[in-house]
Structure 1
Amino acid sequence: MTPTPFRRARYALLERGSWAESRRIAEILRRETVGGAILLVAATVALLWANSPWSAAYFSLRDLHIGGEPFGLHLDLTVGTWVADGMLAIFFFVVGLELKREFVAGDLRDPARAALPIAAAVGGMVVPALIFVAFTAGVGDGAVKGWAIPTATDIAFAVAVLAVLSTHLPTALRTFLLTLAVVDDLLAVTVIAVFYTDGIDFTALGLAVIPLVLFGICVQRRLRSWWLLIPLGFATWVLVHESGVHATVAGVLLGFTVPVLRSAAAGGPEAGPGLAEHFEHRLRPISAGVAVPAFAFFAAGVAIGGLDGFTRAMSDPITLGIVFGLVVGKPIGIYLTTRVLASVTRANLDSALRWIDVFGVAMLAGIGFTVSLLIGDLAYGLGSDRDDFVKVGVLTGSVVAALLAAVLLRVRNRHYRAIHLQETADTDHDGVPDVYQSRRD
């Protein structure tokens, strides 16, 4: 009796995407690399200043109140809060643009391609959250409230590490890292809106719909007038902030309203980039080069108190839960989810890659910074003792994850370089690598 032949997988996990999408991903990563370098500098300066003889000036600047309460609005905020709630909304607006573009016009519009980063992001959230809860469940006093802190990935920080390593990471893996981080941001925004909102003023939230809808109508009509869009965006932000929902959610909602494809009157999607790509091109440098580093500067400053203070922080269950969540939980959650998905769908890993490569990217995803620090502020309060433990945990966990990923990726660097040379070969000199012309779509 002839045995039944093994059925081939219907698709390959982490298969190379289209040439156009690969170029877009490469451009985004180049910009994030610069932003990540600035972020690292800002965080380092803040940490050194906060532990210097002039630390009082740093904390006075962070806690300086600016604003007032016009029309009964609660806008008398500290500089640190203005940056965390206001400037970081620019970052989340770009996240909203990225998400919409990925699922409307990017490679992730294909459900088969979208399933992997979505599932991996969920796995990378669940496992570190469980680890954090295991460390803090018996502590009491709301310590477990910070369960979402180690679940976030900082794409700028991760890409900056890659730039320092100078690795030739395959295009598919770089795309996976970026889309994973984007989906991770969406989950983080959802968590912030649902679990870190104490009370909701439904009147203010309902009023926020008015400028949001007007903003959406303007961008759908392809209006780019800054004097019209900025006031509408700011009004949406103010009312969402007033409602009790974290104001950065307004940035994502505004980003979702921007059209990705060009209108028929403008020549359709083949005529050039849509309004979402236009806004992303304009705002990404501001987000990566100004907004996120400014947040890092005011969020990363923690007075460690020397070796004794660091030892005290590292013995706290909150700090340990964050460190182990980022260093152990993130890579395990992402890697195991990817392996399970491959097993369930009978899919094979793309022939150009190895599972150790996936694990290396999963370790990079353990670098949490911007959103992790933001969730820590929301969970325990800015300037509290536990907030200081959060900062020590996030900084320590991110550095350890980066170092471990660096070791693994250095080992795999020769293999990456060989793949890179194959991908960039252009024997017919038409400007498109041969590998994209020979692939079967």
Structure 2
Amino acid sequence: MPRPPTRRPVATVWPFRPTVRYGGQVARALRTETVGGIIMLTATVAALVWANTPWESSYTDLQTYEISPHWLHLGHMDVQHWASGGLLAVFFYIAGLELREELAHGELRDVRDAALPVIAATAGVVVPALIFLVVSAGEPDAARGWAVPTATDIAFALAVLAVTFSTCPAPLRAFLLTLAVVDDLIAITIIALFYTDELRVAPLVIGVVLIAAYGVLQSRDVRSPWIYVPLAVLGWYFVQRSGIHATVAGVALGMLTNSKETPDERPTNAERTDHALRPFSAGFCVPVFAFLSAGVGLSASQLGAVFGDRVALGVIAGLVIGKFVGVFGGAWTAVRLGLATLGEDLYWREIAGVAMLAGVGFTVSLLIGGLAYTDPSQFERVTTAVLIASILASAAATVVFRRRVRQRARLD
């Protein structure tokens, strides 16, 4: 069944307040995947340009500039760590809201409808990991990065889909969105289980209690942000102190945000929060993280090192080949075995395009790469591999979608 239209609160705009009017227009633009993807791409290009100029050392100095007041007891936190642990927590909070929306009103509320994207997403995690392990076998500490090619970047993938397939049918977009949301949930579970080196129980218990209190208040439809913001920030802080990556707290808080319809048709807490935070996430959090993570050298020797490194080659193969084989093969197998059905207005050629697009790992792949490899040179090669794979996956998907646009135009 198609998802009912999401209600959004309408902001009052006063004619004598042009800054409010233009600010509202900017916020509305940032709620679209295309604009958010373009800003993230611009930030990535800016980082690459800066990192390949004579002032490359100043870029590194910015990444490693430490901001860690001793009274926070968060250890050594530089700017790059604040971006991955703090700003990305907002991005994953939005992902948690989307997952809650899918469970309440979207594809995941019905088992038969959910089966196709869930099975495709699961296979799209397993197959890239296996390909990575095969390609990188024998390299020292290679196995730590098995999860790098398992993630799909929601913002980037939806932006490419919106630009290249303007006549995209709603079921295909819903399939990609659900696939990416389930993929993110699996990725955040992997981060919590496999990339936690030291667990501190006391801060974790406090963080869980604070997040649970947030959930209880949400279930009772308390609506004041003055209660939720302190609870969310403190929950994030104690989860970060526990040794578990704080993006886990972001997903948990998002999933606990109330999305239940109200009798008077007021916007739900989930809708209000999404409306407020999505522009901040798309316009600031994700671009800043991309800017601080994507600045790698692109000289001939540096690119040669990437293609001579089996770990980096494993990342490229996992994202470009593994994601396609996993997502498309998982969907096809599920339909053939009768575990799922191919919905109305969904076609295998378009599913193939989405499977290629799933190889755009970018944001979450860079995050996992930073957790897996602490050696700067190895992380730089992995980052370059993620960028190369994302470009290849986007290009392949673009070819498929542009052909489908022409085919649909002829049929119309």
Q: TM-score, normalised by structure 2?
A: 0.90
CA RMSD of aligned residues (A): 2.2
- After TM superposition, give the deviation of residue 234 of structure 1 in Å: 1.1
Q: Which residue of 2 aligns with 1:13?
A: none
Give the secondary-structure state (helix, strand or coil) at the position aligned to 2:337.
Answer: helix
Cα distance per residue 1:98-144 (max 9 Å; x no partner): 1112112223201101111110000100111001000112112x111
How many Å separate the matches in 2 of 1:58 and 1:123?
38
- After TM superposition, give the deviation of residue 21 of structure 1 in Å: 5.4
Q: Which residue of 1 aligns with 2:263?
A: 267
Structure 2 residue identity aligned to 1:105: H
Contact 1:261 1:273 in 2 (8 A): no
The structure with the larger Rg is 1
- After TM superposition, give the deviation of residue 76 of structure 1 in Å: 4.1
Q: State whether structure 2 residue 198 is matched by structure 1 residue 199.
A: yes
How many Å separate the matches in 2 of 1:115 and 1:346?
7
Equivalenced residue count is: 393
Distance 1:416 1:242, change over 3 A: farther
Q: Which 4+ residue blocks in structure 1 deviate beyond 4 angstroms?
A: 21-24, 27-30
Distance 1:153 1:168, change over 3 A: same
Q: Which residue of 2 aligns with 1:322?
A: 315
Q: Which residue of 2 aligns with 1:179?
A: 178
Contact 1:169 1:416 in 2 (8 A): no
For 1:332-351, list aligned pairs within 5 A.
Answer: 332-345=325-338, 349-350=342-343
- After TM superposition, give the deviation of residue 36 of structure 1 in Å: 0.8
Which one is further off, 100-109 or 238-247? 100-109
Distance 1:23 1:255, change over 3 A: closer
How many Å separate the matches in 2 of 1:313 and 1:346?
40
Cα distance per residue 1:37-57 (max 9 Å; x no partner): 110000110011011111111
Contact 1:167 1:416 in 2 (8 A): no
How many Å separate the matches in 2 of 1:92 and 1:323?
24
Q: Which residue of 1 aligns with 2:17?
A: none
Cα distance per residue 1:156-177 (max 9 Å; x no partner): 1112222332531121111101
Q: TM-score, normalised by structure 1?
A: 0.84
Contact 2:115 2:339 in 1 (8 A): no
Show structure 1 runs of 5+ residues with no match. 1-16, 422-441
Show structure 2 runs of 5+ residues with no match. 9-27
Q: Which residue of 1 aligns with 2:224?
A: 225
How many Å separate the matches in 2 of 1:298 and 1:339?
38
Matched-pair identity in %: 45
How many Å separate the matches in 2 of 1:182 and 1:28?
22
How many Å separate the matches in 2 of 1:220 and 1:353?
36
- After TM superposition, give the deviation of residue 20 of structure 1 in Å: 2.1
For 1:20-35, list aligned pairs within 5 A.
Answer: 20=4, 31-35=32-36
Q: Which residue of 2 aligns with 1:287?
A: 281
Contact 1:22 1:175 in 2 (8 A): no
Q: Which residue of 2 aligns with 1:105?
A: 105
1:372 to 358, 365, 377: 365
- After TM superposition, give the deviation of residue 225 of structure 1 in Å: 3.1
Structure 1 residue identity aligned to 2:399: V
Q: State whether structure 2 residue 294 is matched by structure 1 residue 300.
A: yes
Contact 2:165 2:402 in 1 (8 A): no
How many Å separate the matches in 2 of 1:337 and 1:42?
34
Cα distance per residue 1:319-349 (max 9 Å; x no partner): 1001111111101101111111111117663
Distance 1:52 1:201, change over 3 A: same
Give the secondary-structure state (helix, strand or coil) at the position aligned to 1:415.
Answer: helix
Q: Which residue of 1 aligns with 2:242?
A: 243
Q: Which residue of 2 aligns with 1:407?
A: 399
How many Å separate the matches in 2 of 1:199 and 1:368?
27
2:380 to 379, 384, 388: 388
Q: Which residue of 1 aligns with 2:78?
A: 78
How many Å separate the matches in 2 of 1:240 and 1:19?
34
Distance 1:200 1:28, change over 3 A: farther
Give the secondary-structure state (helix, strand or coil) at the position aligned to 1:77.
Answer: coil
Distance 1:104 1:346, change over 3 A: closer
How many Å separate the matches in 2 of 1:59 and 1:189?
27
For 1:135-146, list aligned pairs within 5 A.
Answer: 135-140=135-140, 142-146=141-145
- After TM superposition, give the deviation of residue 303 of structure 1 in Å: 2.4
Contact 2:97 2:254 in 1 (8 A): yes
Contact 1:66 1:79 in 2 (8 A): yes
How many Å separate the matches in 2 of 1:319 and 1:74?
31
How many Å separate the matches in 2 of 1:131 and 1:166?
29
Structure 2 residue identity aligned to 1:83: A
How many Å separate the matches in 2 of 1:247 and 1:314?
33
Contact 2:324 2:358 in 1 (8 A): yes
Structure 1 residue identity aligned to 2:161: L
Q: State whether structure 2 residue 63 is matched by structure 1 residue 69.
A: no
How many Å separate the matches in 2 of 1:90 and 1:170?
29
Structure 2 residue identity aligned to 1:399: I
- After TM superposition, give the deviation of residue 211 of structure 1 in Å: 1.9
Structure 2 residue identity aligned to 1:63: T
